[in-house]
């Protein structure tokens, strides 16, 4: 009995010490892919967040407290993302940054919503990240700083038809990703609505490397443009394989293409391809960030995640200042009503109706292999 | 479209066969599935990549360096992770579990040291395409296919015609007897792993040139494993036949049925073979598979 009391006493002391220590910091969760297929953006995202938090902490922190990240690897896997969300809840974080992918975000949202902890995803562009698909109502604790896929898919289709003069389109997408599946659908709808025809819609499974069977089928149908809503890795491989099969169609992609290594990975095959992006490395607004990141880590940030993650952290910090408390419900309320705050990518206002940013523009970039850059082509502010 | 599908299937099958050979070699001697083979392929690709980008070597030297590098890694892998289990006469299940551990360990070692980003080999031959009756294939794929066939044939000759080859075959039929007859088993097994590693090096470079180099690229060997089972684990001609067959079946399923159902077919084939023909098409009799 005495032993039990002693043990309990020690535990109580530890708990007191723990909470006394915790009082000096604000714990923000970060669920991110540090390993797995998306780790390249994940690691860049983590670096950008650490860089910004250091600056905020040096300037006195938020509400007089220092920011501390509780970071777990979700391995870009929906099951693991849910586990991470649960761990973050039990760790007592006051808000969560991430995940970056739509599928993982949609899986994590209910866990955090139940715990009343606001979540600000980084680059998850699927509409159902902030809207509950079952009830069609806004998820009260989910927010994002990036544009959404119906906008992106429509921009891509508009651009294909009006600027590239395409009539026949084909789609190659990853059936294992919410991102790819929905974008394929939004593109198809917008392309058909504008008078085009989709001659082939072919899928592959995540982590697959060879798409020649699917592309071989498209070849006979001679599309003018092939829409490939994937990350730069799949886009590069699809481009190489399409050119090997003698396919001459214009390749068109989405914001996940926008990584500096697309050119190295795709080589001559990807030259001349177009894609929609959230941010442009050459964007004058983010030059300060790019220079700072490069000075600290010796390489370019892997866009767009680092920029969007910083935006997410700034959203949380601004909301904390506005709410004056770390209470989840009040914090979510402050996040929903953010107006004209200065973030890394520019200026941001959150729409309280759907928790998406208002008027987030999309840029069209073209891959220029000879000069190793993405050429700015066009900016869409809206598709109306 | 039929001819194009067939050509693509053969080209994919050639790579599967090249990877399946490594599984079969180790299985034939030690009677366990070396799931670390995929990780050795991945490391072989990184060795080749380092030679190509850091030292700007040509394709031949890159390939040779990668064969040597992956061979040494495979031998080290055996020495460190399998040899003590082997000496204690552990069941092959233990070896297989150790192999899975090695695969995860090596993959995470790459994450921790080199990092997670994707790499591409420089374009060694430009993008030259051969057209045949309306179907296209890149020259590189033709070369890779022929090289894979030649390498597998060379290995077949080595095992059937040389003294070391005879020792390996003797070890395959009875390890204990073979050692009683004065064959140095440690040396023999090191040679087997060196050969399997060499093939992993070739497969790594071809995979890297054709696709990309990244830490989880070794998982594509799941398919090579299926190919090895179809052909008969432990049989070299079986690995070739299984690889080509799987490549062609997959491509035809993707083209004429559905690309999403492709893996359902592949893994159904694996299960069907394990149930009804566990020795594969050309495999020898043995009690334990997987």
Q: Give the model confidence (pLDDT) of B13-71 as tens digits.
A: 999 999 999 988 898 888 888 999 999 999 999 999 999 999 989 999 999 999 999 99
In chain A, what residues touch B131 (CB-CB under 8 Å)? 246
Buried b (16+ CB within 10 A) or exposed e, A66-83: ebbbbbbbbbbbbebbbb
> Is there a contact between B238 and B25 (Cβ–Cβ < 8 Å)?
no
A201 and A290 in a common domain: no
Residue ranges covered by each domain of chain B? 2-126+135-225
* DSSP secondary structure letter of residue A145: S
Judge: A204–B259 Cβ closer than 8 Å, yes or no. Answer: yes
Of B182-196, B242-256, B276-290, the poorest mean pLDDT is in B276-290
Q: Which two tokens stand for residue B188?
A: 């023999």
> What average pLDDT does this structure show over A43-53?
96
Quick check: B260 and A203 CB within 8 A? yes
Tokens representing B243 are 């690889």
Q: Which of B126, B255, B262 sits opposite A217 (nearest CB)?
A: B255
Contact residues for A60 (Cβ-Cβ < 8 A; gap 6+):
none
Q: Which residues contact A242 (CB under 8 A, 6 or more apart)?
A: A215, A226, A249, A251, A269
Query: Are residues A189 and A253 located together in one domain of the fold?
Result: yes
Task: Quote the pLDDT of residue A70.
Answer: 97
Averaged pLDDT score across all residues of chain A? 90
| B contacts of A39 (beta carbons < 8 Å) | 111, 116
Mean pLDDT (chain B) is 89
What residues of chain B have any CB closer than 8 angstroms to a CB in chain A? 1, 4-5, 8-9, 11-12, 108, 111, 115-120, 123, 126-127, 129, 131, 136-138, 141, 207, 210-212, 214-216, 219-220, 250-251, 254-255, 259-260, 262-263
| Per-residue pLDDT, A17 | 52
pLDDT at A27: 96
Question: What are A191-244's pLDDT values in tens digits?
Answer: 999 999 999 999 998 888 899 999 999 998 999 999 999 989 999 999 999 998
**In this structure, are A198 and A262 located in the same domain?**
yes
Residues A45 and A101 in one domain: yes
pLDDT bin (cut points 50, 70, 90) of residue A39 is: confident
- For position A311, what pLDDT does the model report? 95
Closest residue in A to B4 (Cα) is A216
CATH number reported for the structural domain that contains residue A124 in this entry:
3.40.50.2300
A193/A170 Cα distance (integer angstroms): 15
**Residues in chain A within 8 Å Cβ distance of B116:** 34-36, 39-40, 42-43
Question: Is residue B208 within 8 Å of residue B218, measured between CB atoms?
Answer: no
Lowest mean pLDDT among B9-18, B67-76, B174-183: B174-183
In three-state secondary structure terms, A280 is coil
Closest residue to A35, CB basis, from B9, B111, B262? B111
Q: Which of B8, B121, B221 to mutate to test the interface with A (most CBs of A within 10 A)?
A: B8
Using CB atoms, which residue from B116, B141, B220 is nearest to A39?
B116
Residue A353 belongs to some domain of the structure:
no
- Chain A CB contacts of B137 under 8 Å are 244
Instruction: List phi, psi (to 5°) of B265.
Output: -65, -50
3 state SS of A323: helix
The verdict on A106 and A47 lying in the same domain is yes
Q: Could you give the C-alpha distances from B55 to A292, B48, B200, in angstroms and in order?
A: 31, 10, 21
Contact residues, chain B, for A264 at CB < 8 Å: 119-120
Number of inter-chain CB pairs under 8 A, A vs B: 102
Q: Is residue A308 part of a domain?
A: yes
Residues A372 and A331 in one domain: no
CB contact under 8 A, B254 and A246: no
Tell me what pLDDT residue A7 has. 63
Q: Which H helix or E strand runs over A377?
A: strand A373-380
The residues of A whose Cβ lies within 8 A of any Cβ of B are 34-37, 39-40, 42-43, 175, 202-205, 207, 209-210, 212-214, 216-217, 219-220, 232-233, 236-237, 240, 243-246, 261, 264-269, 302
What pLDDT is stored for residue A5 in this prediction?
66
Distance from CA of A215 to the nearest CA of B (A): 9
- A373 plus A238 within the same structural domain: yes
Give the separation between CA A165 and CA A155, rounded to whole angstroms: 14
Could you tell me if A254 and A135 lie in one domain?
A: no
pLDDT at A302 > cutoff 90:
no
Q: Which residues of B213-248 are buried (b: 16+ CB within 10 A; e: fewer)?
A: bbbbbbebbbbbbbbbbbbbbbbbebbbbbbbbbbb
Which among B118, B127, B210 has the least Cβ separation from residue A40? B118
How much is the average pLDDT of B150-174? Answer: 89
Residue B86, pLDDT above cutoff 80: yes
For the segment A73-112, what is each residue's pLDDT rounded down to a tens digit?
A: 999 999 999 999 999 999 999 999 999 999 999 999 999 9
Contact, B63 vs B202, CB < 8 A?
yes
Closest chain B residue to A205, measured at CA: B260
Are the C-beta atoms of A239 and A270 separated by less than 8 Å? yes
CB contact (8 A) between residue A210 and residue B263: no
d(CA A293, CA A299): 7
- pLDDT, tens only, B123-155: 887 778 888 777 888 888 888 899 999 999 999
- Whether A356 is covered by a domain: the verdict is no
3-state secondary structure of A172: strand
Number of domains present in the structure of chain A:
2
For residue A6, pLDDT beyond 90:
no
**Phi, psi (5° rounding) for residue A48?**
-65, -35
Min Cα separation A235/chain B (Å):
11
Predicted local distance difference test score (pLDDT) of residue B290 = 39
Q: Are A79 and A186 contained in the same domain?
A: no
Query: Domain range for residue A157?
Result: 149-277+362-380
Residue for token digits 């922190």? A61
- In this predicted model, which residue has the larger pLDDT, A345 or A242? A242
CB contact under 8 A, B8 and A35: no
CA angle centred on B135, ends B134 and B138, rounded to 5°: 135
**Which residues of chain A are within 8 Å of residue B211 when distances are taken between CB atoms?**
209-210, 237
Residue A357 in any domain: the answer is no
Nearest CA in chain A to B264: A205
Residue A81 and residue A230 in one domain: no
Same domain, A239 and A372: yes
The DSSP symbol for A259 reads: -
Cβ of A209 and B263 within 8 Å? no
- Considering only CA atoms, which of B121, B124, B144, B113 is closest in space to residue B215? B113
Q: Are residues A266 and A133 in the same domain?
A: no
């Amino acid at each position: 009995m005495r032993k039990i009391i002693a043990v309990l006493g020690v535990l109580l002391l530890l708990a007191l010490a723990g909470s006394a220590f915790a009082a000096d910091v604000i714990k923000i969760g970060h669920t991110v892919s540090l390993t797995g297929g998306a780790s390249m953006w994940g690691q860049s995202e983590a670096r950008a967040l650490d860089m910004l938090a250091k600056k905020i902490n040096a300037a006195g922190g938020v509400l007089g407290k220092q920011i501390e990240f509780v970071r777990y690897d979700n391995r870009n896997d929906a099951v693991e993302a849910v586990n991470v969300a649960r761990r973050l809840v039990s760790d007592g974080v006051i808000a969560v940054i991430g995940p970056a992918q739509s599928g993982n975000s949609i899986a994590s949202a209910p866990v955090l919503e139940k715990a009343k902890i606001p979540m600000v995803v980084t680059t998850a562009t699927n509409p159902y990240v902030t809207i509950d698909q079952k009830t069609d109502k806004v998820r009260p604790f989910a927010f994002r700083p990036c544009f959404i896929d119906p906008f992106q898919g429509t921009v891509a289709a508009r651009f294909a038809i009006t600027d590239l003069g395409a009539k026949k389109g084909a789609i190659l997408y990853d059936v294992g990703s919410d991102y790819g599946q929905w974008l394929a659908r939004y593109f198809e709808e917008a392309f058909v609505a504008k008078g085009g025809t989709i001659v082939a819609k072919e899928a592959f499974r995540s982590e697959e490397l060879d798409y020649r069977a699917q592309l071989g089928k498209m070849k006979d149908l001679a599309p003018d443009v092939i829409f490939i809503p994937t990350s730069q890795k799949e886009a590069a491989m699809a481009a190489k394989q399409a050119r090997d099969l003698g396919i001459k169609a214009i390749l068109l992609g989405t914001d996940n293409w926008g990584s500096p290594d697309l050119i190295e990975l795709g080589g001559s095959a990807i030259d001349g391809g177009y894609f929609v992006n959230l941010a442009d490395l050459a964007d004058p607004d983010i030059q300060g960030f790019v220079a700072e990141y490069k000075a600290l880590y010796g390489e370019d940030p892997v866009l767009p995640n680092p920029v969007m993650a910083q935006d997410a952290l700034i959203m949380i910090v601004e909301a904390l200042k506005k709410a004056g408390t770390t209470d989840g419900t009040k914090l979510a309320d402050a996040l929903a009503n953010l107006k004209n705050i200065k973030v890394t990518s520019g200026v941001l206002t959150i729409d309280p109706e759907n928790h998406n940013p208002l008027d987030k523009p999309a840029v069209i970039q073209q891959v220029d292999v000879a000069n190793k850059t993405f050429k700015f082509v066009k900016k869409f502010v809206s598709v109306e | 479209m039929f001819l194009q599908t067939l050509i693509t299937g053969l080209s994919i099958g050639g790579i599967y066969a090249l990877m399946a050979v490594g599984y079969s070699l180790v299985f034939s001697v030690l009677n366990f599935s070396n799931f670390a083979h995929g990780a050795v392929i991945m490391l072989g690709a990184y060795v080749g990549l380092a030679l190509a980008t850091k030292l700007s070597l040509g394709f031949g030297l890159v390939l040779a360096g990668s064969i040597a590098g992956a061979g040494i890694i495979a031998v080290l892998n055996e020495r460190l992770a399998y040899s003590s289990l082997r000496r204690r006469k552990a069941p092959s299940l233990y070896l297989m579990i150790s192999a899975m551990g090695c695969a995860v360990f090596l993959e995470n070692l790459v994450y921790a040291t080199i990092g997670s980003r994707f790499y591409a080999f420089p374009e060694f031959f430009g993008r030259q395409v051969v057209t045949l009756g309306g179907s296209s294939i890149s020259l590189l794929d033709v070369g890779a296919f022929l090289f894979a066939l030649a390498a597998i044939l060379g290995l077949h000759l080595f095992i059937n015609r040389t003294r070391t080859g005879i020792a390996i075959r003797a070890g395959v039929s009875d390890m204990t007897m073979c050692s009683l007859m004065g064959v140095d088993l440690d040396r023999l097994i090191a040679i087997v792993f060196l050969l399997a590693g060499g093939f992993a090096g070739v497969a790594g470079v071809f995979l890297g040139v054709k696709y990309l180099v990244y830490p989880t690229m070794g998982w594509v060997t799941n398919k090579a494993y299926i190919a090895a089972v179809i052909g008969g684990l432990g049989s070299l001609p079986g690995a070739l036949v299984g690889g080509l067959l799987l490549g062609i079946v997959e491509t035809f399923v993707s083209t004429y049925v559905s690309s999403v159902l492709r893996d359902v077919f592949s893994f159904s084939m694996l299960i069907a073979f394990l149930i009804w023909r566990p020795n594969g098409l050309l495999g020898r009799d043995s009690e334990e598979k997987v």
